[in-house]
Amino acid sequence: MEAAGVSTVAARQRLARQRLVPYLLVAPAVVVLAFVFAYPVVSLVVDSLSSPGLLGKTDHGLQNYQAVVRDPMFRRSLLNNLRLFVAVPVMTVIAVLVAALLFERVRGWRFYRSIVFLPYVLAIPVVGIIFSYMLQRNGLVNEVLRGVGLDALAKDWLGDSGLAIWSVWSAIVWQQLGFGVVLFLARLGSVDPSLYEAAMVDRAGWWARFRHITLPHLAPVIEFFVTLSLINMLSWVFNYVYVMTNGGPVNSTYVLELLIYQSAFRDDLPNIAAALSVVVLMFAVVLLSVQAYVRRRIERMQG
Amino acid sequence: MTVRSRRSGGLGPVTALRQVPLAVMALVVLVPLYFLVVSSFKTSADFAASPLGLPRHPTLEAYHKALAGHRIGLLFLNSLVISVSSVAVATAFGALAAFALAKMRFRGREPLFRLMLPLMVVPPIALLVPQFKLMSALGLVGNRLSVIVLYVGIMLPFTIYLLRNFFAGVPDELLEAARLDGCGTLATLVRVILPLSGPALMTASVVNFVFAWNELLISLVFLQSESQRTLVVGLTLFRSRFSLDVPVLMAGLAIATIPVFLVYLFGQRFLVRGMLSGSSR
């Protein structure tokens, strides 16, 4: 402790500067985040409540939302996002089973792990283009089907309005499955091996070990993967659709993201696009809240 | 069958049975990649005759065509500049913020950190229109800076989250010792914390690089002149011009995939670590 008055002032100044340090450290990141997220969110909400034709004023502020909800394309797009949601349980079940198999050190497990993860690092447009060519009328898939005598199954995978969204679906599952496998496998690697050894001594079968050791340990990671995948299906599928079908045939593969993109950049309806964006954001918030609830439940179950 | 032989993976009926689903899965994963690679070594006549088989006369013709005249080199360079600079800035800003969040007490620390997780899942398209208006007000549309700023913003939540959790594990005694040696805040970060955080920095960089290299939407909207386009955008548009010459298109895709494939080969464990850290608490 300094006794002299002058050095007390200096010490106080130093302390004040010390207090400032953490704010200076977070400042660059906070400025970028404000620029990229905070301002756009505020601006989005304001835009969604106003209409450009009426000098920024609407009768009751919700006209854009009404227009969105009445638009049949909105319902169709939402329905397609929900169809993509179906991929999540499918991917989760397959990925958990594959991870459990690989974890038992099946011959060649490292090879399988590397292979299944490979699609995940490819650019989505690359995946989309490859699948578009494979799924063409005379593409590889139909050639193979005809080759083995299953001509009836050879369909116009991307040209048929009933099938196209499921073709996009399959490209997404193909690319994202490996993420789940690798995630689950890494989590299993940190499970105490003595648990499995004890189960072996007790002559517990594969299913019993899976049910009582593997699944409970995976529960938090499964919850993470499911949430992340649902959010992906809601808000990161634009690239697949844009590259593979661009919404067609006859608008059958529109998803919410594509509808936002087209409203904003093709139809020049920024306020409608803003209202749609707010809807998607709220959807994401709901998913996150459900996840937080499920996480609390899992934590309580595991004590 | 005894417990022991089951564990050692001998070729008993049960073990052999386990290979079946895995082999099917490997096949399903590999067929599209086989299609990509094999088609790129065919002539277009060869491809038309047999889209499925091996090339009858393997040739680099498609690669020559893809590289000649269509400025793939330039697109490649554009992608590299944007990816590397946004990864560098995100890592620097992220490390500064993570240091404060991990090791200092200040008002607003907890809410700021708790904001990172929800920011990671904001749908990018939802904010595109206001971001576009903001950038055009600043005259930055068509400037690489706009894309870099947006990428940095999208990378930061994950980067901060990961680095903060890693930095928190650095013992306080080391920071105290550095302070007694006369190190200032920045010197402590650069000389003490960062050298201990190699794996976390590597993970963040690998995950961020793969994101930036593969990103389509933002670069499509913000960089409209042909000379600034990134590789992924270029290929998506290139596709409509070359939709008839599949081998050339596939060669272009293969070239675009080389950098992320290298990252996959050498950075796989960092990618996996990064994903796990996102699921831990």
Query: How does pLDDT run across A148-189, given as a tens digit for each residue?
Result: 888 888 888 998 999 999 999 999 999 999 889 988 988 888
CB-based contact (8 Å) between B3 and chain A?
yes
pLDDT at position B70, please?
A: 61
Cα(B43)–Cα(B248) distance, rounded to whole angstroms?
9
Interface list for B 83-142 with A (CB within 8 A): 92-94, 96-97, 99-101, 104-106, 109, 112, 118-119, 121-134
B129:A270 CB<8 A = yes
Question: What CATH number has the domain spanning A71-301?
Answer: 1.10.3720.10
Place of tokens 């961020």: B208
Contact partners, residue A213, CB within 8 Å, separation at least 6: A191, A195, A196, A199
pLDDT at position B12, please?
A: 57
Task: Read off the pLDDT of residues A62-100 as tens digits, 9 standing for 90 and up.
Answer: 888 988 999 999 999 999 999 999 999 999 999 999 999
- Positions of E strands within chain B: none
Q: What are the sequence ranges of the domains in chain A? A: 5-63, 71-301
Cα(B48)–Cα(B135) distance, rounded to whole angstroms?
46
Q: What are the sequence ranges of the domains in chain B? A: 3-65, 71-241
Residues B175, B192: contact at Cβ < 8 Å?
Answer: yes
pLDDT at position B245, please?
A: 82
For the residues B73-101, what does the mean pLDDT come to? 95
For the residues A54-59, what does the mean pLDDT come to? 52
Query: B138-148 burial string, b = 16+ CB within 10 Å, else e?
Result: eebbeebebbb
Instruction: Count Cβ atoms within 10 A of the Cβ of residue A9 and give its class: 0-12 exposed, 13-18 middle, 19 or more buried.
Output: exposed
Q: Determine the 3-state secondary structure of A248 from DSSP.
A: coil
- Greater confidence, A114 or B159? B159
Cα(B252)–Cα(B64) distance, rounded to whole angstroms?
10
Contact partners, residue B201, CB within 8 Å, separation at least 6: B91, B95, B163, B194
Cα(A196)–Cα(A204) distance, rounded to whole angstroms?
9
Give Cα A281 to chain centroid, integer Å. 13
> Which of A274, A234, A283 lies closest to A68, judged by CA?
A274
pLDDT at residue B5 greater than cutoff 50: no
Cα(A187)–Cα(A100) distance, rounded to whole angstroms?
11
Cα(B80)–Cα(B230) distance, rounded to whole angstroms?
8
Q: Determine the 3-state secondary structure of A10 from DSSP.
A: helix
Query: B118-132 burial string, b = 16+ CB within 10 Å, else e?
Result: ebbbbbbbbbbbbbb
pLDDT at residue B60 greater than cutoff 50: yes
> Which of A264, A274, A259 lies closest to A50, judged by CA?
A274
For the residues B56-82, what does the mean pLDDT come to? 86
Residues A218, A263: contact at Cβ < 8 Å?
Answer: no
Interface list for B 211-270 with A (CB within 8 A): 213-214, 216-217, 221, 232, 235-236, 239, 246, 249-250, 253, 256-257, 260-261, 263-264, 268
pLDDT at residue B1 greater than cutoff 60: no
pLDDT at position A262, please?
A: 92
CA distance B143 to chain A (A): 16
Cα(A250)–Cα(A273) distance, rounded to whole angstroms?
21
CA distance A244 to chain B (A): 10
pLDDT at position B199, please?
A: 83
CA torsion angle B113 B118 B122 B127 (round to 10): -50
Residues B233, B219: contact at Cβ < 8 Å?
Answer: yes
> Which residue from A minimizes the CA distance to B152?
A32
CB-based contact (8 Å) between A15 and chain B?
no
Residues A28, B97: contact at Cβ < 8 Å?
Answer: yes
Interface list for A 219-278 with B (CB within 8 A): 220-221, 224-225, 228, 231, 234-236, 238-239, 242-243, 257, 260-261, 264-265, 270, 273-274, 277-278
Contact partners, residue A181, CB within 8 Å, separation at least 6: A95, A98, A99, A102, A113, A116, A117
- What share of chain B in percent tops pLDDT 90? 46
> Which of A110, A105, A99, A100 lies closest to A180, judged by CA?
A99
User: What was the ipTM of the complex prediction?
Assistant: 0.85
Cα(A249)–Cα(B277) distance, rounded to whole angstroms?
41
pLDDT at residue B8 greater than cutoff 70: no
If one counts every other C-beta atom within 10 angstroms of the C-beta of residue B3, the result is 11
Task: Read off the pLDDT of residues B194-235 as tens digits, 9 standing for 90 and up.
Answer: 998 888 898 889 889 989 998 999 999 999 888 889 998 988
CB < 8 Å & 24+ apart, contacts of A102-109: A102/A181, A102/A185, A102/B22, A103/A185, A103/A188, A103/A189, A103/A214, A104/B7, A104/B18, A105/B7, A105/B9, A106/B9, A106/B15, A106/B18, A106/B19, A106/B22, A107/B9, A107/B11, A107/B15, A107/B19, A108/B19, A108/B22
Whats the size of chain B, residue-wise?
281
Supply the mean pLDDT for chain A.
Answer: 87
Which parts of chain A fold into alpha helices (H)?
Answer: 5-33, 39-48, 63-70, 72-85, 87-103, 109-121, 124-134, 140-147, 164-188, 193-201, 206-209, 215-235, 238-244, 256-265, 270-301
Biggest CA pair distance of chain B:
75
Question: Per CATH, which fold does B71-241 belong to?
Answer: MetI-like fold (1.10.3720)
Give Cα B148 to chain centroid, integer Å. 14
